[in-house]
Amino acid sequence: MFGSLKALPADPILGLLAKYREDSNPHKIDLGVGVYKNEAGHTAILDCVKTAEKYRNDHEDTKVYIGPTGSPVFNEEMSKLIFGHHKVLLENRARTVSTPGGTGALRVAAEFIKSCKAGATIWVSNPTWANHTGLFEAAGLTVKTYPYYDHENKTLDFDGMLAALKEVSSDDAVLLHACCHNPSGMDLNNEQWQQVVEVAKDVGFLPLIDMAYQGFGVGLDEDAYGLRLMAEHAKEMIVCSSCSKNFGLYRERIGACTIIGETSAAVDVAQSVLLYVIRVIYSMPPAHGAALVETILSSDELRTQWHAELKEMRDRINGNRQLLVDKLVENGVTRDFSFITRQMGMFSFLGITPEQVQQLQDEYSIYMVGSSRMSIAGIANSNVDYLAKSIAKVL
């Protein structure tokens, strides 16, 4: 049976990582992989996580299954983190389950949407995270795109986005990035979110909001503004969230999928379908990462420490944006790269050609995706001069 298979190309980002590891240039820079790195280029374990892990090791007394919904404490704490003091929680219209990472949450959401309507259409931004299309199509959904990023002007194509969303069918789903848009870094402002919510109300499509980077943009509450606004007006809605970035729990693969229904009774029915979807995919979610997150969020001391560590990561990323722009100017680059400072989160399009991206890799050992999407966290004081000089030469 295997003989009929044909090899598929490697994921572009994973392929870049392999090339980077094999590169012997001492000045090499990895701007491809989407993980947070500190000034030393290391993805360290947060101190609050280390404390939570010690607590878990000292108190865990069983490895029995925790059930398909996951830990009730984790689910409750994640619901509060996502929504704050929101009416959907007060009205008991939200149900949260833990999932194997944010990707697991998205696949569960996709299979759930298929259960609601076989062959349903989901609209994603152009561009969007590369894995969105693959996982939605693998679940049997039809994927279409709406305009989002204007590559020529390095800004949001909001008029195009709004016009497209007005033409979406009422029984379609629309994927929206809550904050720190991957891969463009270009987010909706509060006024634009208000307009999108009005369109969603008028059209009646199902909002599916992906929040992989809460706290990496402006702040935990600020980054959830659009999501919470949408939840105020949407009768039904799905939220997929991840603890990989803001807790640094990349290996633990813990995320959450939250569904909102029109009534408490309606969302109970929806949850029963969601649990069936989970049962036939992975049956039970992992427990370790969820235990760490709930330990941190349930402790005033650890939660305060986490807020401080999260702010440090956020400030470093935002500082790197300004640092790169300043260094490009210092190296005589006359092209305007100030758009980088107006974006949020881990990523940005540098806005150079695929040929120039390849030249940076071949001649200077600087690795980024062919679209010129770069991970801002890979920039450091120790490499930014070399990076800026190399970009200047290529330009």
Among all residues, which ones are annotated catalytic? Answer: 129, 210, 245
Q: List phi, psi (to 5°) of 373.
A: -70, 125
Question: Is the bond preceding residue 9 a cis peptide, omega within 30 degrees?
Answer: no
Q: Is 203 exposed, middle or buried (0-12, 13-18, 19+ CB in 10 A)?
A: middle
C-alpha 87/C-alpha 117 separation (Å) is 28
Dihedral, 337, 339, 345, 349 alpha carbons, nearest 10: -60
Task: List, in order, residues 6 or more apart from 278 with CB less than 8 Å away.
Answer: 68, 97, 99, 108, 285
CB–CB of 200/230 below 8 Å?
yes
**Total Cβ atoms within 10 A of residue 301:** 10
C-alpha 324/C-alpha 36 separation (Å) is 17
Q: Which long-range contacts (CB under 8 A, 24 or more apart) does 357-365 make?
A: 359/394, 360/390, 360/391, 360/394, 361/19, 363/390, 363/394, 364/27, 364/390, 364/393, 364/394, 365/20, 365/23, 365/25, 365/27, 365/28, 365/29
Looking at residue 11, the DSSP 8-state letter turns out to be P
Which residue has tokens 């969820």? 290
Antiparallel, parallel or unpaired: β 347-349 and 373-375: antiparallel
**Helix axis angle, 288-298 to 47-59, nearest 10°:** 110
